[in-house]
Amino acid sequence: MVKNSLYDRPDSDREIVTTVTTGLAQADGSATDLQPRQLIVTIYGLYARQEHNWLSVAALVRLMADLGIDSQPVRSSVYRLKKRGILRSLAMSGAAGYALSVDALAILKEGDARIFRDHRASAADGWVVAVFSVPERDRDKRHELRARLTQLGFGTVAPGVWVAPRHVAAEAETVLARHGLGGYVDLFGAEHIGFADVGSKIGDWWNLGELTALYDAFTERFAAVARGPARTLGTDRDSFAAYVPMLTTWRRLPYRDPGLPLELLPHPWSGETAAALFADLNAQLAGPARRHAMSLIHR
């Protein structure tokens, strides 16, 4: 399958998580509790990039109708996404439609590995430490830097000192540089050599209770989909209606959990159960969902 990121950027970078990662689906996998704009971003991330980065308005309305969303909320959401710089108007062959902006495409590509690949670290891999100091005259950059580190999955050790698994280092360097924040922060590769057991600190640096609740909610809501007819006996439309809300809900989690080492986490770790469920549903539903989407896009 084609692996796509589902991360985009509105007019303010600090709104990214709000725009594309909030909301949870119903226990049956329906899109009732998800915002139309979140589902639209998912659809563009999955299906527009191979279609010349473009979907007609008519095709988008058809796709969203199969998620239970009427045309008026779709059009209103597209207008807001356009205003925020995520979508841009583009007519092709006389048909009105929208394409992802250049910036949105870049962030979609950047997020591919986060969403679809398992980057579970081990304690032996080491850490990346971000140390920053932002002068008072640039205090808006301080807030942006903290938000960006949070989105990258860093945990807070102390004011101005944040930590993440070592594999986050390259992405952090790229993201911080791209957003003009490199001048305020230094990144160091590190090992923990003493004194307290680092496992006892993980719960201080990351909110493990919140992560556990998010993982448990995902598993509870979508385990029924894995057992349901969309997996084996349903139509491609059933798979599409289950897959898009599931993926929209999942995509927030790899940004909240940067792949913390299992040996440092509570056992059993609910993130492993949720990740296995996501991998199963992704493998089972992505192909049929794509067939259905293409049938509507090319109608």
Report the chain (299 residues): mean pLDDT per 10 consecutive residues. 38 38 41 82 93 94 96 95 94 94 86 82 94 92 93 93 95 91 95 89 94 94 75 78 94 88 93 94 94 95
Q: Is the peptide bond before 254 cis (omega within 30 degrees of 0)?
A: no
Whose tokens are 């969203």? That residue is 64
pLDDT at residue 109, rounded to an integer: 83
Assign 3-class secondary structure to the chain.
Answer: CCCCCCCCCCCCHHHHHHHHHCCCCCCCCCCCCCCHHHHHHHHHHHHHCCCCCCEEHHHHHHHHHCCCCCHHHHHHHHHHHHHCCCEEECCECCECEEEECHHHHHHHHHCHHHHHCCCCCCHHHCEEEEEECCCHHHHHHHHHHHHHHHHHCCEEEECCEEEEEHHHHHHHHHHHHHCCCHHHEEEEEECCCCCCCCHHHHHHHCCHHHHHHHHHHHHHHHHHHHHCHHHCCCCHHHHHHHHHHHHHHHCCHHHHCCCCCHHHCCCCCHHHHHHHHHHHHHHHHHHHHHHHHHHHHCC
Cα(224)–Cα(229) distance, integer angstroms: 10
Cα(147)–Cα(268) distance, integer angstroms: 29
pLDDT tens-place string over residues 10-30? 333 434 333 433 433 443 444
Strand ranges across the sheet with 155-158: 155-158, 161-165, 127-132, 185-190
pLDDT at residue 195, rounded to an integer: 87
CA dihedral 101, 102, 104, 110 (to 10 degrees): 160
269: which 2 tokens?
A: 């770790």
pLDDT at residue 18, rounded to an integer: 37
- Would you list the domain boundaries of the chain? 1-126+206-299, 130-190
pLDDT at residue 9, rounded to an integer: 36
Interacting residues of 34 by C-beta distance below 8 A, sequence separation 6+ = 23, 24, 25, 245, 248, 249
pLDDT at residue 229, rounded to an integer: 53
pLDDT at residue 228, rounded to an integer: 63
Query: Model-level pTM?
Result: 0.83
**Structural contact between residues 34 and 40, judged by C-beta atoms closer than 8 angstroms:** no
